[in-house]
Chains A and B, each alone.
Chain A
Amino acid sequence: KAGVTQTPRYLIKTRGQQVTLSCSPISGHRSVSWYQQTPGQGLQFLFEYFSETQRNKGNFPGRFSGRQFSNSRSEMNVSTLELGDSALYLCASSAGLSPYEQYFGPGTRLTVT
């Protein structure tokens, strides 16, 4: 079974721009979660989608948004990029039901200059 895929793997953007990252979960998984990973803050939860509905959101500003499509693929968008948004953005896939284990993709490395 294919794993979680994320595109693009690397991205360089300029402050003020916006960016869209994509995630395809494991086949049959209906839940997609997004995390931001930085050296200073570690892994932090952004939001989670299940069957196209956002079920939970972390403590990030409204510039961070996401959505999920009917095929469970998910996108996250960051508008008005700031230097501090430079991070590894990870997508995790799960069946969405107990026992909740999440399987991560390789991540998208975003650099904001």
Chain B
Amino acid sequence: GESVGLHLPTLSVQEGDNSIINCAYSNSASDYFIWYKQESGKGPQFIIDIRSNMDKRQGQRVTVLLNKTVKHLSLQIAATQPGDSAVYFCAEKDVDSSYKLIFGSGTRLLVRP
């Protein structure tokens, strides 16, 4: 498969455990954030989004938390499965352009069987 990042931070978790992936963003005025999952050889897959007027949003097995005070975003994956192994990116909508996403550098999640 294709490598999307040779020196990504890596999170290794046991299958069945919960995973927490963190992301810091730069602009306190950012008002929209997205988490993407990218598997080897594929494009990023939309997981969940959150607006800045919310602190928490839940999806299926995933929860995104937004802490605007410290400009921090986290993605929590419950009962992590082998299929969750991938690189995870957070992205923020550019304040100056509604049509541009600014991506973080990504975190590689490895799920141990």
Contacts and interface: CB of A to CB of B under 8 A. Distances in A.
Interface in A26-43: 31, 33, 35, 37, 39, 42-43
A7 interface: no
Nearest to B41: A106
For the residues of A in contact with B, the DSSP-based class is strand
Contacts of B32: 99-100
A104 B100 contact: no
Q: Is the interface of B mostly helix, strand, loop or mixed?
A: loop
Contact of A39 (B3, B98, B99): B3
Interface of B: 2-7, 32, 34, 36, 41-46, 49, 51, 89, 91, 93-94, 97-106
Interface of A: 4, 31, 33, 35, 37, 39, 42-45, 48, 50, 55-56, 58, 88, 90, 92, 96, 98-107, 109
